[in-house]
């Protein structure tokens, strides 16, 4: 099974789109998307300097455009899973078929402008906390009045909040942890971004999304999201909610992903996956940075993607846990049996009582991803259902 990942802010590099403009139609595509985003994507991706592309109002649509431009060169019909980090989630949502590319670019432009405006309201920032005991790191962040904006796995948590509080955290770091201040405009993915969330919600409310055509993971909790409207709501909520990339990587492992392609500008997410998923769970990774890398990416898809066939296409949907607890599959429901939309396929035992787990779509129960009495977290994949399309 193969996953395509779309990176977030901080991964951009001056001139990283230059080689892509040699592809037929690429420059025209970027100029069309520039009109939607309200920024010159051709200029930003080719000749703009590091300071200019660090501006979140410019960076966000630039990153989404780069991911979508590169993905157009890949056989995406053979890709099973998409996920993105922070603003990269807009690109992943488009690649999963929930949004047209034009809607994703437009939302990225609005998101970037509004988050930049929110950053200007008061002095805030972000700092990476590397190493240390995870519980102690989170406790220290909370004790200093900060928020864990990104939980990236691989021993990396990003703290965000008031500049003064970040200074205090740097002066009193958790044991065995290093603090690195990030050159960003403000405290993304925290309540400081509430005005931006409201502005994005007003625009997103006019979109009519489709349901995902492949497995689409959410930064909110690592869950595979089955409904397009729910995913749009999660994209809006994510402006103030922490990025749980650690949970997304856990889901990649739970799904049995064996190949990963990171879209340009690639490297950051590939590094996190490499450090977090080791041993038998380690996928083969391709970082797609220039058109020269396309051959390797296509080869990876050919070997790890959905096998091409003249038979009806099989699309998989993942049933996820609605809450934390202990899972119990429905009695006498075995792999290979047909389930209908709305059918109860199991229960999660919680402190408040059992919670039903239902199938959002009909199809064949192809695989249980959790078993009787397994402890499960909210959003954790429980079963995979396949159907012909």
Q: Do 2-118+191-304 and 314-388 come out as alike in CATH topology?
A: no
Query: CB of 95 within 8 A of CB of 28?
Result: no
Q: What CA–CA distances, in Å, run from 387 to 2, 174, 271, 339?
A: 19, 49, 34, 10
The pLDDT value recorded for residue 314 is 43
The predicted model scores a pTM of 0.81
In this prediction, residue 379 has a pLDDT band, given cuts at 50, 70 and 90, of low
Query: CB of 169 within 8 A of CB of 188?
Result: no
In this prediction, residue 316 has a pLDDT band, given cuts at 50, 70 and 90, of low
Q: CATH code for 121-182?
A: 3.30.70.250
- CATH class of the domain comprising 314-388: mainly beta
* 86 classed as catalytic: yes
Can the peptide bond before residue 221 be classed as cis, meaning omega within 30 degrees of 0?
Answer: no
Query: CB of 240 within 8 A of CB of 190?
Result: yes
The more confident residue out of 165 and 379 is 165
Query: What superfamily would CATH give domain 2-118+191-304?
Result: Malonyl-Coenzyme A Acyl Carrier Protein, domain 2 (3.40.366.10)
Query: CB of 269 within 8 A of CB of 13?
Result: no
Q: Which residues contact 6 (CB under 8 A, 6 or more apart)?
A: 63, 64, 67, 82, 83, 84, 85, 88, 89, 90, 91, 92, 95, 263
Domain edges within the chain: 2-118+191-304, 121-182, 314-388
**Residue-wise pLDDT tens digits, 200-257:** 999 999 999 999 989 999 999 898 888 899 999 999 999 999 999 999 999 899 888 9
Q: How many CB atoms lie within 10 A of CB 207?
A: 17
The pLDDT value recorded for residue 281 is 82
Q: Is the dihedral of CA 273, 68, 257, 237 positive or negative?
A: positive
The more confident residue out of 174 and 353 is 174
**Residue-wise pLDDT tens digits, 29-62:** 999 999 999 999 999 999 999 999 999 999 999 9
Active-site option among 144, 147, 189, 304: 189
Q: What CA–CA distances, in Å, run from 296 to 161, 259, 271, 286, 355?
A: 41, 12, 18, 7, 45
Chain mean pLDDT for the chain: 92
* 360 classed as catalytic: no
pLDDT > 90 in the chain, percent: 78
Active-site option among 86, 213, 218, 315: 86
The pLDDT value recorded for residue 387 is 63
């Amino acid at each position: 099974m193969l996953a395509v990942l779309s990176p977030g802010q901080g991964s951009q590099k001056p001139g990283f789109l230059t080689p892509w403009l040699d592809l037929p139609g690429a420059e025209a595509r970027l100029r069309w998307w520039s009109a939607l985003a309200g920024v010159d994507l051709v200029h930003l991706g080719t000749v703009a300097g590091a300071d200019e592309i660090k501006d979140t109002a410019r960076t966000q649509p630039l990153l989404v455009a780069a991911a979508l431009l590169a993905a157009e060169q890949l056989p995406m019909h053979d890709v099973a899973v998409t996920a993105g980090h922070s603003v990269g989630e807009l690109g992943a949502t488009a690649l999963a078929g929930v949004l047209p590319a034009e809607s994703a670019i437009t939302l990225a432009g609005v998101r970037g402008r509004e988050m930049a405006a929110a950053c200007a309201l008061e002095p805030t920032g972000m700092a990476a906390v590397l190493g240390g005991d995870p519980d102690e790191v989170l406790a220290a962040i909370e004790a200093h009045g900060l928020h864990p904006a990104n939980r990236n796995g691989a021993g990396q948590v990003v703290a965000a909040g008031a500049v003064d509080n970040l200074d205090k955290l740097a002066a009193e770091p958790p044991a065995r942890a290093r603090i690195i201040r990030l050159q960003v405009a403000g405290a993304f993915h925290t309540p400081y971004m509430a005005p931006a969330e409201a502005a994005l919600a007003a625009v997103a409310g006019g979109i009519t999304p489709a349901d995902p055509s492949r497995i689409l993971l959410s930064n909110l909790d690592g869950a595979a999201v089955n409904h397009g409207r729910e995913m749009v709501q999660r994209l809006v909520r994510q402006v103030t909610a922490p990025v749980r990339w650690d949970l997304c990587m856990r889901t990649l492992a739970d799904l049995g992903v064996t190949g990963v392609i990171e879209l340009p500008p690639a490297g950051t997410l590939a590094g996190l996956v490499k450090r977090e998923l080791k041993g038998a769970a380690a996928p083969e990774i391709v970082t797609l940075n220039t058109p020269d890398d396309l051959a390797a990416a296509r080869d990876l898809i050919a070997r790890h993607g959905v096998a091409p066939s003249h038979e009806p296409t099989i699309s998989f949907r993942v049933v996820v846990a609605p809450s934390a607890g202990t899972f119990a599959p429905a009695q006498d429901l075995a792999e290979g049996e047909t389930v209908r939309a709305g059918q109860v396929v199991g229960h999660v035992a919680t402190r408040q009582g059992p919670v039903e787990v239902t199938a959002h779509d009909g199809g064949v129960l192809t695989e249980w991803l959790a078993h009787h009495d397994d402890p499960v977290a909210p959003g954790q994949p429980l079963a995979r259902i396949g159907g012909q399309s």
